[in-house]
Amino acid sequence: MLYRRFPKIANKEISILAAELPLGCGIAPLIDMGLSAFYLPLGAKEALSPDFPGTAVVLCPGELFQAKEGALGRLVSYLAERGARPADLAAVVLSGTDSGSAESAAKAFGSAAEEAVREGVIAGFGFRLEGAPGFARTLAASGDDWSFWCADYNFVNARILDSEARALGEEGIPLVATDPFRGGLLSSVPPEVHQLYFNAPSPRSHEEWALRAVWENQYVVTAVAPPASQAVMNQRLILAGAGRANSLPRSELEVIRMAGEKLLT
């Protein structure tokens, strides 16, 4: 298993693969194989298992981030009862558009989250991009000390988001890549893309092409895998042992580029 670091969260490294909750399989075997990051969608708190690890990073939605007595406080208590440290939480603010109201909401969130970091309630905080790509830079420049950002990033839309990923990454704000399989499309690609893979220099599964393309980006800190069976998750974790940044040869990068073009047409 490979790990990457949050530059703005001291001594915090996470596995390059994160699992979205609920898992659909057991947590303990994944921890044994090195998984250390979990993505908690809104409303999934009840999906946390009693054997949830105390050393994991939990990326949770900003809607949970209210007062200490609010939903985040209840989540912190839940994890603490199971041995997790509160400072292993990282909060995500959901920013859907590039409107002024979203920017104001993000700034209010950032101020509250900075205080929570100082008090040791959470390890860091970030934002989720769901609107215009350029809005990521607007939020990053808001003055808040963002630790990371989230976006539905995969090799089909990489060209749209790569400039933002580079700009923010160079400021120490890495990308959490949600939806690396593009809603399942990249887990089972159309025949014309499968033929590209078949003729490629190295044999790889559909999911391996998708994950390696995401991990190739040095500014991605982790890729969030959707729930799957134990066998599928085990296979993804094996792939995460080779997902080094800037490691694919030019010939394979060309395969990914052509596949992305075909899937856009």
Asked which of 19-23, 53-57, 140-144 is least confident by mean pLDDT, the reply is: 53-57
Kindly report which listed range (21-30, 99-108, 172-181, 191-200) carries the lowest average pLDDT score. 99-108
8-17, 110-119, 199-208, range with the lowest pLDDT: 110-119
pLDDT at position 39 over 60: yes
**Domain contains 99:** yes
Look at residue 88 in the predicted model and tell me its pLDDT.
64
Number of domains observed in the structure of the chain = 1
Q: Is the per-residue pLDDT at 235 higher than 50?
A: yes
Q: Which residue has the higher pLDDT, 184 or 44?
A: 184
- 3-state SS, residue 92: strand
Residue 68 has pLDDT above 70, yes or no: no
Asked if residue 38 is part of any domain, the answer here is yes
Backbone angles phi, psi at 180, to 5 degrees: -65, -20
Give me the pLDDT at residue 36, please: 87
Alpha helices in the chain (DSSP H): 28-32, 71-81, 100-118, 135-140, 158-169, 191-198, 206-215, 230-239, 250-264
What does the chain come to in residues?
A: 265
pLDDT at 72: 55
Instruction: Output the pLDDT for position 21.
Output: 80
- Is residue 202 in a domain? no
The whole-angstrom separation of Cα 223 and Cα 58 is: 13
Residue 183 burial (CB < 10 Å; 0-12/13-18/19+)? exposed
Per-residue pLDDT at 97 exceeds 50 = no
* CA 84 to centroid of chain Cα atoms: 20
Give the range among 72-81, 120-129, 171-180, 228-237 with minimum mean pLDDT.
72-81
Instruction: Give yes or no for residue 221 having a pLDDT over 70.
Output: yes
Averaged pLDDT for residues 203-227 = 96
Q: Token pair for residue 94?
A: 């959901």
Q: Which two tokens stand for residue 219?
A: 């500014």
Helix axes 230-239, 206-215, angle to 10 degrees: 50
200 domain-assigned: no
Q: Is residue 143 part of a domain?
A: yes
Residue 141 has pLDDT above 80, yes or no: no
Closest CA to 93 of 7, 23, 151: 151
Question: What is each CA distance from 57 to 73, 122, 206, 226, 261, in whole angstroms?
Answer: 16, 10, 28, 17, 35
Residue 78 lies in a domain: yes
Segment among 9-23, 83-97, 119-133 with least mean pLDDT: 83-97
**Exposed / middle / buried, residue 264 (Cβ in 10 Å: 0-12, 13-18, 19+):** exposed
Which CATH number do you get for residue 173? Answer: 3.20.20.100
Residue 162 sits in which domain range? 3-181+219-227
For residue 7, report the phi and psi dihedrals to the nearest 5 degrees: -55, -30
Determine the Cα–Cα distance for residues 26 and 163; give it in Å rounded to an integer: 37
pLDDT number for residue 55: 60
**Is the residue at 194 inside a domain?**
no
Residue 85 tokens read as 């440290």
Between 5 and 97, where is the model more confident? 5
Contacts 24+ apart (CB under 8 A), 37-45: 37/222, 39/176, 39/178, 39/224, 40/64, 40/75, 42/94, 45/71, 45/74, 45/75, 45/78
What is the arithmetic mean of pLDDT over 88-96? 64
pLDDT at 85: 61
- Which pLDDT belongs to residue 120? 74
Asked whether the predicted pLDDT for residue 161 surpasses 50, the reply is: yes
What's the rounded mean pLDDT across residues 12-28? 85
Question: Considering the domain boundaries, does residue 250 fall inside one?
Answer: no
